[in-house]
Structure 1
Amino acid sequence: MFAPPVKPSLALIPLAALASCGSPPPDGRGVGREETLLSVSATGEAETRPDQAQFQAGVNSWAKDARLASDANAQKIGEIVAALVATGIAKRDIQTRAVSVQRIDWGDRKGQYQASNVVNVTVRKVADAGAAVAAATQAGANVISGPDLRMTDREGAANSAYAAAFKAARARADAYAEAADMRVARVLTIRDSGGVQGDRYLPGAAPVAPPPVVMEQTAQQASNGSVMPGRTISSVSVQVDFALERK
């Protein structure tokens, strides 16, 4: 004989379980059931005066064999370093960047050897950069590039820009909330989107491609050899999630 099928009884289901079926799951972003999520993107800028300069100075020498070219080059680079030290540049701020010796197989110097030596020079005061470049040139440097103006406290300048970006995000969130007859209850997340500092890319938290670098302020070489530091702009972006609630 076959037993008749048993019909399920609703009485077997706890009332608490029934009540929970109609409740939405908790929001993984931290937004409460009576709150509204608002995501805001904002940018901030900070201007900083560069206080250091870097430039590269070097010399190319030619001779009929590699040894003669190398010896002549070493003597000349020694004279350049001595001239830089005489202007007040510390030896620890002079660093070799490139040394090479190669045979020339083209042009008027075909068959000769070219020796090259380039040093990187850090000038601790921008006002002294012009005199340092002039000293290197007068000592025989025939390779000069720069100056690259920079700041001792790069991170401090960037942090000022980030603070401005967050303040802008909060002001925008307050404006949205006021228009919606709400108020900002909490800050949920803050995401660093990175930015630029002069010609330097500031990476953000997300693995995105760097933005195009635009020079806001470039160094200028005046006719009298002085270096104009100008201002370096740090520009960054942040994304902030806010929780809004009714007033």
Structure 2
Amino acid sequence: MPRLTLSRTALNGIVAATLAALAAAPANAQEVRPREPVITVTGEGQSDVAPDMAIIELGVVKDGKTAREALDANNKAMAEVMKALKDAGIAERDLQTSGFTISPQYHFPQNENGENKPPVLVGFQVANMLSLRVRDLSKLGTIMDQTVTLGVNQSGGIRFTNDKPEAAISQARKKAVEDAIAKAKELTVAAGIGLGRVLEMSETSYRPQPVPMMRSAMAKDFAAEAVPVAAGETSYSVNVTVTFALQN
């Protein structure tokens, strides 16, 4: 088997390179700078604004001996409801079917001993849910009252919001940053150190939340026979996380 031989010059070169690497390692380690001291705080901001739009979930539920009978009854009632909504000024773009189901209905009889017998089909139920946006809140109570009269017998809830919430969110965002700066200053003053520049900043979340507060201007707009509705205010919350450098 052939033997690998190195010249004296090559061997000296390898040894020299190895010694140079070992000598440079401690020097490089000494050049690593310590991490800059920082402080990270979370600021919260909130902006309350009166809503200008309501989103309602309304439904018509009808029963029949057959699916056809239940569907025909439901279609008739829902057609009347949608016509009334359009007559009240609700635009096509603000009406959307949000759910539709046909369900068999069973009766579960028992014998004299209290034991369950096989279920008996007794009919069908059709449910048609409609989501609508009401942009004129002064009509909200009247619209809800009229739809019930025309056949709406199920509700999925009501939510007040704003068509263009950007201004409220922007205000909440500014308050959140101001809150973060105030917290950082308070902490550094208490610790006897200086507050440096902003290193990082991020927005973590914002969410609309209803504030139950009746506006007198809306209360007087509702007719006496309409459904009383309190729109209150919508609260937009923003959280920001800010990292500052610290000064000695």
Secondary structure of 2:174's aligned partner: helix
Q: Is residue 30 of structure 2 the alignment partner of residue 22 of structure 1?
A: yes
2:115 is matched with which residue?
none
Q: Separation in 1 of the partners of 2:191 and 2:125?
A: 73
Q: Separation in 2 of the partners of 1:25 and 1:54?
A: 57
Q: Which runs of 5+ in 2 are unaligned?
A: 1-11, 110-119
Amino acid paired to 2:135: R
Cα 1:218–1:71 change in 2 (3 A) is farther
Matches for 1:216-227 after TM superposition, within 5 Å: 216-217=211-212, 224-227=226-229
* CA shift digits 1:42-100 (9 cap, x unpaired): 22211121111011222122222211221121111101111111211112211111222
Matched-pair contact (CA < 8 Å) for 1:187–1:243: yes
- Structure 1 residue 243: Cα displacement: 1.0
Q: Separation in 2 of the partners of 1:58 and 1:17?
A: 75
1:87 is matched with which residue?
88
1:73 is matched with which residue?
74
Q: Please say which structure displays the higher CA radius of gyration.
A: 2
Q: Separation in 2 of the partners of 1:138 and 1:61?
A: 14
Q: Separation in 2 of the partners of 1:178 and 1:104?
A: 70
* CA shift digits 1:200-235 (9 cap, x unpaired): xxxxxxxxxxxxxxx643899998513221112223
Cα 1:18–1:216 change in 2 (3 A) is same
Matches for 1:72-151 after TM superposition, within 5 Å: 72-106=73-107, 111-151=122-162
Provide the aligned C-alpha RMSD in A: 3.6
Identity of aligned residues (%): 27
2:49 is matched with which residue?
48
Q: Separation in 1 of the partners of 2:173 and 2:164?
A: 15
Cα 1:218–1:105 change in 2 (3 A) is farther
Cα 1:17–1:132 change in 2 (3 A) is same
Q: Separation in 1 of the partners of 2:34 and 2:200?
A: 17
How many residue pairs are counted as aligned between the two chains?
Answer: 216
- TM-score normalised by length of structure 1: 0.73
Amino acid paired to 2:243: D
2:245 pairs, out of 232, 243, 246, with: 243
Q: Separation in 1 of the partners of 2:29 and 2:58?
A: 75
- Structure 1 residue 18: Cα displacement: 7.1
Matched-pair contact (CA < 8 Å) for 1:127–1:227: no
- Structure 1 residue 195: Cα displacement: 4.6
Q: Which runs of 5+ in 1 are unaligned?
A: 1-5, 199-214
Matches for 1:153-192 after TM superposition, within 5 Å: 153-192=164-203
